[in-house]
Amino acid sequence: MEKLDRKAFPSRGAIGQNRLVGVVARVLISGKWVESDETFNVLNKYTGEVLDTLPACSGAHVNAALDSAERGAHIIARLPAYERAAILERTADSIEAHAEDFVRMLVIEAGMPIKLARIELQRSLVTLRFSADESRRLVGETIPFDAQPRGADRYGYYMRKPVGIIAAITPFNGPLVLVCRKIGPSIAAGNSSVLKPASATPLSAVKFGTMLLDAGLPGEALQVLTGRGDLLGRQIVSDQRVRVVSLTGGATAGTDIANHAGAKRLIMELGSVCPTIVMNDARLDLALSCLPEAAFAFAGQNCIRPQRVFIHEDVYGAFLERFVERSSRLVVGDPAKEQTEVGPMISEREAVRVEAWVEEARKLGAKVLLGGSRDGSVYSPTILENVPPSAKVYREEIFGPVTVVERFSKLSEAIAKSNDTAYGLQAGIFTQDIDTAYQAIENLNFGAVLINDTSDFNSDLMPFGGLKRSGVGREGVRWAVEEMTEIRTVIYRAPSG
């Protein structure tokens, strides 16, 4: 596969040029490209080719970034809402103007099938434009202090103010959209940001940063640090100047960050083992039209994909046969090809891990109905039956193209099995009965319950987040902006007489 045409990305700094390890690279701090002698390679996830060489930041870089962000917090807080909105809209326009170049970048740095990359690009644009809208809607309300006797001579209101500095830590499976979901609301709220993208997929985030600066964002208001998350993340989140940490990642990383963050607000989406229930009255064609793609697209590297599918015993055999057959028709391979639906995993190491989890389940008695094979970093779509609850693939988020199927006889059984997990992000159910839907809504212990859909849907128009180990706080632009602002109350005491 050809390397990216860097000339398609005019920028303020000389980023994106292929470098050899050991050549001085640069990192974005205070709107400038700061040198770093330590570097790491970013690879094409399908071919293994070196795409670029980026800085592996040090503690000194983190300190410089936080110093700049502290200055930037004062600068951006004084920008009126219409200017912040205009910056976000200009950035969206710029990304849209280079849409296919960004799509190509997502394909090669993340291994994302090109059809999904185009969807991610469009979602990113929507997120930025929603963020621009929310910057104009930072409203408070009046407070009726005279509702109690001692407040009879007082009146007032509250308003929302930026918190200061946001630490944004993003994963590899949303290299652009999840960056936009954090930085967009942060700017809308009037905060400065320190962004640490995943080391496997930093190119989209770095380019996004240059476009924000080109759109007029003050240089001190955004720092982009690249390198090892376990080293940089702790230093960033433990600094008391950071007031909100927004993380999308795994439960282990979330626990570690929470332990180091101290007294600050956390917005953390930490994954899940999402269920989808297929009732005996379900529209089976509807379920089959979306379940294979939801389960296996982007090689299953999706926190809300249906990892466990519970199928009513009345339709179990017929539905399962069709589910396996349709899943077997998914096109696996080169993500740059238009027909590809399942590309490589983020690394061969992750594919080897998935292979080990499936082998563990097999040794415990699971039956492989489809897939179960690996070719380098590509793991085939896999469906498992008779998986014991003790298997990792049943209880933990596999983050790979593996789905477990299980039969049930009563709705209460399916709900109990769905809830029998340490996670609680989203759940889906297919049924045509309103009472069944109501029982699911009331009793499934998840952040969202989807009716006549799999667990695999979210929108920036909804509060997105989970229960239990799936995280704390909510994303979605409006809700993220609220999390990234503080309430200031104003109270006037009326003069006597």
Q: Which residues contact 38 (CB under 8 A, 6 or more apart)?
A: 55, 56, 57, 58, 227
Task: Locate the DSSP E strands across 110-258.
Answer: 141-143, 154-162, 165-169, 192-196, 222-224, 242-248
pLDDT (average), residues 410-433: 98
Same domain, 112 and 58: yes
Same domain, 261 and 327: no
* Proportion of the chain above pLDDT 70, given as a percent: 95
For residue 145, how far is the Cα from the chain centroid? Answer: 41
For residue 95, how far is the Cα from the chain centroid? Answer: 19
Is 464 a member of any domain?
no
Top pLDDT among 394 and 23 is at 394
CATH code for position 373: 3.40.309.10
Question: pLDDT by residue (tens digit) across 451-479?
Answer: 999 999 999 999 999 999 999 999 999 99
Question: pLDDT by residue (tens digit) across 387-421?
Answer: 999 999 999 999 999 999 999 999 999 999 999 99
Question: pLDDT by residue (tens digit) across 343-384?
Answer: 999 999 999 999 999 999 999 999 999 999 999 999 999 999
Q: What would the two tokens of residue 286 be?
A: 């509807």
Which structural domain, as residue segments, surrounds residue 325? 274-459
Same domain, 286 and 185: no
CATH code for position 52: 3.40.605.10
Same domain, 169 and 308: no
Is 71 a member of any domain?
yes
431 contacts 440 by C-beta, under 8 angstroms: yes
Residue 153 has pLDDT above 60, yes or no: yes
- Average pLDDT, whole number, for the chain? 93
Residue 278 has pLDDT above 90, yes or no: yes
220 contacts 31 by C-beta, under 8 angstroms: yes
- What distance, in Å, lies between the first and last C-alpha atoms of the chain? 81
Alpha helices in 297-433 (DSSP H): 316-328, 348-363, 392-395, 411-419
Same domain, 294 and 262: no
Residue 82 pairs with which residues in a beta bridge? none
Is 235 a member of any domain?
yes
Same domain, 302 and 242: no
Same domain, 214 and 288: no
* Residue for token pair 């988020």: 397
Question: pLDDT by residue (tens digit) across 103-137?
Answer: 999 999 999 999 999 999 999 999 999 999 999 99
CA distance 13 to 9: 11
Residue 492 pairs with which residues in a beta bridge? 155
Question: pLDDT by residue (tens digit) across 38-62?
Answer: 899 999 999 999 999 999 999 999 9
CA distance 44 to 249: 22
Q: Which residues contact 139 (CB under 8 A, 6 or more apart)?
A: 159, 160
Q: Which residues contact 442 (CB under 8 A, 6 or more apart)?
A: none
Same domain, 93 and 166: yes
Same domain, 387 and 253: no
Number of folded domains that form the chain? 2
Same domain, 262 and 278: no
Is 284 a member of any domain?
yes
Is 117 a member of any domain?
yes
CA distance 99 to 96: 5
443 contacts 415 by C-beta, under 8 angstroms: yes
Please report the pLDDT score of residue 25 as a whole number.
52
Integer angstrom CA distances of residue 34 from 11, 200, 217, 223: 15, 21, 18, 11
Same domain, 256 and 374: no
Q: Which residues contact 301 (CB under 8 A, 6 or more apart)?
A: 172, 173, 345, 346, 399, 400
To the question of pTM greater than 0.75 for the whole model, the response is yes
Question: pLDDT by residue (tens digit) across 175-210?
Answer: 999 999 999 999 999 999 999 999 999 999 999 999
Is 99 a member of any domain?
yes
Q: What would the two tokens of residue 355 be?
A: 């292979």
Q: Which of 394, 405, 403, 350 minimizes the C-alpha distance to 374?
A: 350
Is 321 a member of any domain?
yes
422 contacts 399 by C-beta, under 8 angstroms: no
Q: Residue length, the chain?
A: 497
DSSP characters over 53-120: EEE---HHHHHHHHHHHHHHHHHHHTS-HHHHHHHHHHHHHHHHHTHHHHHHHHHHHH---HHHHHHH
Please report the pLDDT score of residue 26 as a whole number.
63
Catalytic residues: 269, 303
DSSP characters over 393-460: HHHS---SSEEEEEEESSHHHHHHHHH-SSEESEEEEE-S-HHHHHHHHHH--SSEEEETS-S----T
Integer angstrom CA distances of residue 156 from 144, 159, 489, 490: 8, 10, 7, 5
By DSSP bridging, strand 306-312 and strand 274-278 are parallel
Helix (H) / strand (E) containing 483: helix 477-483
Same domain, 249 and 329: no
CA distance 238 to 211: 29
Is 493 a member of any domain?
no
